[in-house]
């Protein structure tokens, strides 16, 4: 069973505001999380197409070179920007791969690995609609459905409860699939699990001043 993966990816200079870091550090980390997440999704044997939805020009160049499809979000979007980005991805899947299962994979999972994702997607395929709660338990990382038509994204604060309410089955998943990075403490938790190579390098490359400002 293969999947269409939909990866929402904010422009790197706009992403990860809750890290409360210097703009250069924030952008560098956001880019590294996104590159590691995308590399893991592209290398996952259960994924046949990867669709990245973004407004970022640099993201577009990287994503095309990496071998994924790109959907550029229109500028005039509703307030629910993550939801509308995902809906663009679902529309692509509905048009091009209507009978293929779908997985939404946010681009802030730097500990994600192709094998862990593959195992999860095989388990998810036994449920019409399913989700993975984030490491805190209140949010959602990965959301899956057996077809684009069955996908009901409810991302945003408190989304685990919302996805349960929408009938999604809660998948048991290892930390690598649950550890999104929203705030600094999440980065330390992802490091304990094992960071992807881009994030490991970006973290190691922080100057002593940047690292100490980040942890303050």
Ligand X SMILES: Nc1nc2c(ncn2[C@@H]2O[C@H](COP(=O)(O)OP(=O)(O)OP(=O)(O)O)[C@@H](O)[C@H]2O)c(=O)[nH]1
Contact residues for ligand PEP (CB under 6 A)? 82, 134, 139-140, 155-156, 159, 180, 182
In order of 20, 24, 48, 138, 184, the CA distances from 141 in angstroms are 21, 26, 20, 10, 17
Number of residues written out for the chain: 216
Contact between residue 32 and residue 198 where contact means Cβ atoms under 8 Å apart: yes
Selected from 82, 125, 166, 213, the binder of ligand X by CB under 6 A is: 82
d(CA 196, CA 1): 26
Give me the least distance between CB of 209 and ligand PEP, in Å please: 28
Of 158 and 197, CB closest to ligand PEP? 158
- Distance (Å, rounded) from C-alpha 21 to C-alpha 210? 8
Residue selected from 5, 8, 120, 130 as contacting ligand X according to rule CB under 6 A: 8
Q: Does the protein bind ligand X through residue 10 (CB under 6 A)?
A: yes
Say whether residue 212 binds ligand X (CB under 6 A). no
Which residues here bind ligand X, judged by CB under 6 A? Answer: 8-10, 15-18, 53-54, 73, 81-82, 85, 106-108, 180, 182
């Amino acid at each position: 069973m293969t999947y269409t993966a939909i990866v929402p990816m904010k422009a790197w200079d706009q992403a990860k505001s809750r890290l409360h870091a210097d703009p250069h550090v924030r952008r560098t980390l956001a880019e590294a999380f996104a590159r590691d997440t995308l590399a893991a999704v592209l290398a996952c044997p259960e994924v046949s197409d990867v669709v990245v939805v973004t407004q970022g020009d640099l993201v577009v160049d990287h994503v095309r070179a990496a071998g994924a499809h790109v959907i550029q979000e229109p500028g005039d979007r509703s307030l629910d920007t993550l939801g509308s980005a995902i809906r663009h991805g679902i529309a692509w899947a509905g048009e091009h791969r209507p009978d293929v299962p779908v997985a939404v994979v946010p681009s802030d999972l730097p500990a994600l690995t192709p094998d862990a994702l593959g195992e999860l997607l095989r388990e998810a395929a036994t449920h019409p609609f399913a989700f993975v709660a984030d490491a805190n338990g209140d949010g959602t990382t990965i959301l899956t459905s057996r077809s684009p038509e069955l996908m009901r994204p409810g991302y945003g604060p408190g989304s685990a409860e919302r996805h349960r309410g929408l009938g999604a089955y809660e998948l048991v998943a290892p930390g690598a699939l649950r550890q999104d990075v929203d705030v600094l403490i999440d980065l330390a938790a992802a490091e304990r699990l094992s960071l992807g190579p881009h994030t490991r390098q970006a973290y190691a490359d922080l100057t002593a001043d940047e690292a100490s400002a980040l942890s303050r």
